[in-house]
């Protein structure tokens, strides 16, 4: 199957975290022409961070989309031109104050290829230590939790932790543990 041909791309508006385009494309198979929503985002990173004691570092924060407080792994947007691994170390440090020597790339997902342009890279940070204070962005209010392996598993299966990018991160982590 071949990809569709882009005939027109028009910026509709800019949000605070995306640019919204209307894109006219044509199927090479059927010849059909349609207009589609495309949201251009920065690429993202997230990090499964584990202390030497085997505790997992989670962040509790209010989320505007679902209008509720969530429990997630640390993560955020990659700055323009920034290496994903550098971004992962930075986001971990800024959101939690935890740092580490080495990061292991676990996997990379497309958050939603249907309408989003971006990727999310997942890293594993082992033996993280709290060496700094949080350095939060405007409107970021984050409470840090250190959860045991059992607590993480229970919250993933009960749905208390249910961010798709976090669940996907643990898919890769479980496969990393198998090898």
Residues that bind a copy of itself (CB under 8 A): 1-4, 6, 12-13, 15-18, 20, 23, 25, 27, 29-30, 32, 34-39, 60-70, 107-117, 120, 138-139, 141, 143, 156-157, 159, 162-165, 167-168, 170-172, 174-175
Min dist. Cβ of residue 75 to a copy of itself (A): 10
As given in the structure block, the two tokens for residue 42 are 């920065």
Quick one: 69 or 86, whose CB is closer to a copy of itself?
Answer: 69
Minimum CB distance to a copy of itself smaller for 21 or for 100: 21
Q: How far is the CB of 52 from a copy of itself (least distance, A)?
A: 26
Neighbouring CB atoms inside 10 A of 129's CB total 12
Contacts for 122 with CB less than 8 Å, ≥ 6 apart: 45, 46, 47, 48, 105, 106, 107, 108, 109, 165, 168, 169, 172, 173
Choose among 115, 114, 103: nearest CA to 45. Answer: 103
Distance in Å, CB of 99 to a copy of itself, minimum: 24
Q: In angstroms, what is the minimal distance from the CB of 27 to a copy of itself?
A: 6
Phi-psi region of 31 (alpha: psi -120 to 50; beta: other; left: phi over 0): left
Q: Given the complex with a copy of itself, which of 54 and 113 has the nearer CB atom?
A: 113
Nearer to a copy of itself, 69 or 127 (CB): 69
The vertex-104 CA angle with 145 and 169, nearest 5°, equals: 55
């Amino acid at each position: 199957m071949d990809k569709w041909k882009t005939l027109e791309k028009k910026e509709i508006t800019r949000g605070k975290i995306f640019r919204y385009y209307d894109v006219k494309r044509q199927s090479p198979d059927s010849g059909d022409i349609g207009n589609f929503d495309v949201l251009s985002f920065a690429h993202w990173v997230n990090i499964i961070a584990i202390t030497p004691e085997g505790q997992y570092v989670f962040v509790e924060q209010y989320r505007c989309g679902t209008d509720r407080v969530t429990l997630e792994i640390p993560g955020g947007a990659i700055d323009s031109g920034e290496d994903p691994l550098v971004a992962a170390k930075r986001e971990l440090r800024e959101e939690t104050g935890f740092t580490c020597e080495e990061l292991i790339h676990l996997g990379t997902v497309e958050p939603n290829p249907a309408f989003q342009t971006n990727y999310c890279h997942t890293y594993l940070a082992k033996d993280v230590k709290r060496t700094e204070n949080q350095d939060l962005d405007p409107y970021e209010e984050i409470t840090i939790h250190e959860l045991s392996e059992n607590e993480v598993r229970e919250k993933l299966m009960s749905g208390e932790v249910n961010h798709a990018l976090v669940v996907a991160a643990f898919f890769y982590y479980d496969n990393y543990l198998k090898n």
